[in-house]
Amino acid sequence: MNARITQATLLDGSNPHHGKQVDIRIEKGIITEIASTLEAKKNEDLINFENLSVSPGWFDSSVSIGEPGYEERETIKNGLLVAAKSGFTGIALNPNCYPVPDTSSSIAFLQNKAANNAVQLYPIGALTQKSEGVDLAELYDMQQAGAIAFGDYQHAIKNPNLLKIALQYTQGFNGLVLSFPQEDDLIIKGMANEGETAIKLGLKGMPALAEHLQIARDLYILEYTGGKLHIPTISTAQSVALIKDAKAKGLDVTCSVAITNLFFTDAALEDFDTRYKVTPPLRNEADREALVAGIKDGTIDMVTSDHNPLDIEQKKLEFDHAKFGTIAQEATLGALLTLVSEKKAVQLLTAGRKRFTQTTSKIEVGQPANLSLFTTKGSNTFTKEMILSKSKNAAFLGAKLKGKVYGIIANKQFIAS
């Protein structure tokens, strides 16, 4: 593609043009010029939006799609289009399709299915065979086929020896291990955060202690073994404190938080709306405030949509019977901008790429154009018309958001929102 982006505020802390309004020329998908103004050339598209900002392409570290096995929830083709129109140029795909991707051939299938899209799909391989938590899967073979990390999506690693072996084994090829922060024996049949709201509504509780015990155990194991650990979607103040202490010790650990846990509290459950039934559960206001503080001080490395499309048969049920999960990619930028500055938002939306793929996206002459286009100005209310996913289980319906995504440029393609 050949294009000229005009009057864009460049948001990239490592770039000398950071914070300045520039024009960017792209030829055959490569950035060829960056200047305060550029003259038009023949046969190039003009990209110009009101109050336009440009940053390195965003990366979403926790995305579920469905295909193969659950195409009624979401297909890979549409899932990648949703990501593009939500501003993401790369996604880490959770291993919760069917069959579970626990072999090199299943990883290769996912990559081949997603080939030639603007958004790059990076598969996460299952840590254990069929994500059953018993035997390790083919980790090295999957890494050679393109898996960027290993974890069982929203399944805790019950056996501590299994985590120990995984952290030791993956050091041989610089692998990243994911451990979901939940001690299952403490949340049997739990539906919501253990606390005042759950008691009031008569819902079985999911204590914060279940998250704290799992994280504390995992960090002790990491300190013993070494290796690289990522703890996805933490949700409590004590979890932030535990990870902060671990980082101070020099442990190679990162963590993420889901945008829903940053934005909502368990008070949203008062009407038994299953759109707010997520895991980890929405916590209280003190926990939410601690999570916001954690993203601001750098303890929490990245924000994820934790986008999980579920069809109506799985969500429009009695609260006890509905599945956990919400779609959130379409609202991630708008929700995040209500909590942090535009500079911090970009940092939180781009940090996952380096951790998961060991690469970075730079806005420099000679580099492939991998850009997210958006505005931080204005506000809006999230409506049904803004849902791009095949599934409609959106917790953010009716939420007041800021800014707007204009699209992405990646893999020699411009996808407009």
Q: What is the DSSP string of 33-50?
A: EEES-----TT-EEE--T
Q: Check pLDDT > 90 for residue 365.
A: yes
Percent of the chain at pLDDT > 70 equals 100
Q: Could you tell me which of 164, 161, 139, 162 has the C-alpha nearest to residue 150? A: 139
Report, as an integer, the average pLDDT of 364-391: 97
Tell me the pLDDT of the chain averaged across its residues: 97
For 145, other C-beta atoms within 10 Å of its C-beta total 20
User: Span 2-53+366-416: which CATH code?
Assistant: 2.30.40.10
Give residues with Cβ within 8 angstroms of 185, minimum separation 6.
none
For 18, other C-beta atoms within 10 Å of its C-beta total 15
**pLDDT tens digits along 201-253:** 999 999 999 999 999 999 999 999 999 999 999 999 999 999 999 999 999 99
- Determine the Cα–Cα distance for residues 319 and 415; give it in Å rounded to an integer: 37
Extents of the domains making up the chain: 2-53+366-416, 58-357
**Amino acid identity, position 213:** L
**Radius of gyration of the chain measured on its C-alpha atoms:** 21
Beta 120-125 vs 149-150: how paired, if at all? parallel
Annotation marks residue 306 as catalytic? yes
- How long is the chain? 417
**pLDDT tens digits along 252-310:** 999 999 999 999 999 999 999 999 999 999 999 999 999 999 999 999 999 999 999 99
Give the pair of three-digit tokens for residue 183: 């001690």
**Among 301, 306, 311, 320, the one annotated catalytic:** 306
For 392, other C-beta atoms within 10 Å of its C-beta total 16
Report, as an integer, the average pLDDT of 354-379: 96
With 0.75 as the threshold, say if the pTM is over it.
yes
- Determine the Cα–Cα distance for residues 298 and 319; give it in Å rounded to an integer: 35
pLDDT confidence tier of residue 14, bands split at 50, 70 and 90: confident
Q: Are 238 and 246 in contact (CB under 8 A)?
A: no
Beta 413-416 vs 21-27: how paired, if at all? unpaired
Q: Are 233 and 215 in contact (CB under 8 A)?
A: no
Give residues with Cβ within 8 angstroms of 188, minimum separation 6.
none
User: Span 58-357: which CATH code?
Assistant: 3.20.20.140
Residue 281: cis peptide before it, omega within 30 degrees of 0: no
Helices 342-357 + 285-297 axis angle, to 10: 80
pLDDT confidence tier of residue 123, bands split at 50, 70 and 90: very high
- Determine the Cα–Cα distance for residues 384 and 123; give it in Å rounded to an integer: 29
- Determine the Cα–Cα distance for residues 350 and 56; give it in Å rounded to an integer: 7
pLDDT confidence tier of residue 335, bands split at 50, 70 and 90: very high
